[in-house]
Chain A
Amino acid sequence: MIPARAGRPYANPYYAGIALGLVLLASFALAGRGLGASGAFASAAAGVVRAVSPSTASANFYFSRYLADGVNPWRDWLVFELGGVMVGAWLSARLAGRLRATVERGPYVASPVRLVLATAGGGAMGLGAVLARGCTSGQALTGGAMLSVGSWLFVLGAFAAGYTAAPFLRRVWQ
């Protein structure tokens, strides 16, 4: 059952950020690596390509990395981590009364248009994350905290493009 109420207000962003930083720090200390998200998509894609065409998967230098030495891409660290993300998010929203079946969109955009835009935006982020070797989790948060130059360049690029494109998409959101 998904309750149709708005739920409790969100947490203070600084406290939430500090908590997120402590989760990241715990990952560094306990697992020797940071957080990630797009890497789980890469593992899953490698798994699908191998299931459909093993020869394509092994000939592709990008996917074969996720399949080396009989590695099972579905048992990848990030796949389990991202599964945990979904469980944690669901639990948090459930306990705060924030679970609700909806399509979040701007007031002037119909749901189907919003879903097409979300899919297209996701596709672009997939391309960007492959090139950048990570996303807001693996590059911005993890590489950012480890002071990696490439990660900070990724953040600069993402914010620059975001602010440049936003005025053209004002009708979508406002």
Chain B
Amino acid sequence: MNSLILASTIGVAFGWTLERAGLGSARKLVGQFYLNDLTVFKVMFSAIVTAMLGVFWLSRLGIIDLGQVYVPETFILPQLAGGLVFGLGFVVAGLCPGTSCVAAATGRGDGVATVLGLFMGVLATGLCLPRFAALYGSTPRGTFTLPEAFHLPYGTVVLLIVLMALGGFTLAERIEARR
């Protein structure tokens, strides 16, 4: 199949599930940070766990080759700093890049504004980036995974993340029930 047709098809499914979960709604998303609606955590971590288990078992069964799946490269400092700035922007906007497109497509003006802001932010940062090239390229670790960092077998890390997620879901239900 043409890769752009595949990209669009995967995108449609992605946008559909985000909208079904209610993640086009900024007020629902920020509920995560005021602990009155933990949908973000629940959706994000059940998705991560599902895909992680799928990748793990499909590669064990020899159906997919882990080496053929692209893993984002690690740059410790810029990714930690980028995460901090991103998190701040997330609470101010109430939406993230993917969900701002969902919000915009479902009639929300705040989604359109976030999309515009994102575009300007990426454009301005890209234009200024040569001046901050040292920070941008600092602490490179290449493809660096948790099993390598903690010297643990892949399956052990997968199991630990599943347990962490289950613990997190239990806690999330308790926090929401308290309200």
Contacts and interface: CB of A to CB of B under 8 A. Distances in A.
Contacts of A116: 113
A45 B22 CA distance: 28
A150 to B, nearest CB: 3
Interface in A1-46: 2, 10-11, 13-14, 16-35, 37-38, 41-42, 44-46
Contacts of A129: 82, 86, 97, 118, 121-122
A6 to B, nearest CB: 12
B80 A156 contact: yes
Interface residues on A, range: 35 or more
Interface string B146-157: 111100001001
Interface centre among B6, B21, B144 (most CB of A within 10 A): B21
A101 B13 contact: no
A132 interface: yes
Nearest to B64: A29
A103 B109 contact: yes
Given A75-B4, A122-B89, A147-B147, A104 B103 contact: yes
Interface string B42-71: 111111111110110010000110001111
A162 interface: yes
Contacts of B78: 131-133
A174 B33 CA distance: 12
A62 B114 contact: no
Nearest to B161: A147
Given A41-B97, A45-B122, A88-B13, A124 B109 contact: no
B68 to A, nearest CB: 5
A99 B106 contact: yes
Interface residues on B, range: 35 or more
Nearest to A33: B70
Interface of B: 1, 3-4, 6-22, 24-28, 30, 32-34, 39, 42-52, 54-55, 58, 63-64, 68-76, 78-111, 113-127, 129-130, 133, 135-136, 141, 143-149, 154, 157-158, 161, 169
Nearest to A174: B34
Contacts of A115: 109-110, 113
B8 A148 contact: no
Contacts of A156: 80, 83
A1 B144 CA distance: 49
Given A104-B103, A165-B91, A166-B91, 18 more contacts: A11-B20, A19-B17, A21-B51, A22-B51, A88-B15, A91-B15, A121-B117, A122-B95, A122-B113, A123-B118, A125-B93, A127-B124, A131-B135, A132-B82, A141-B48, A145-B47, A155-B83, A158-B87
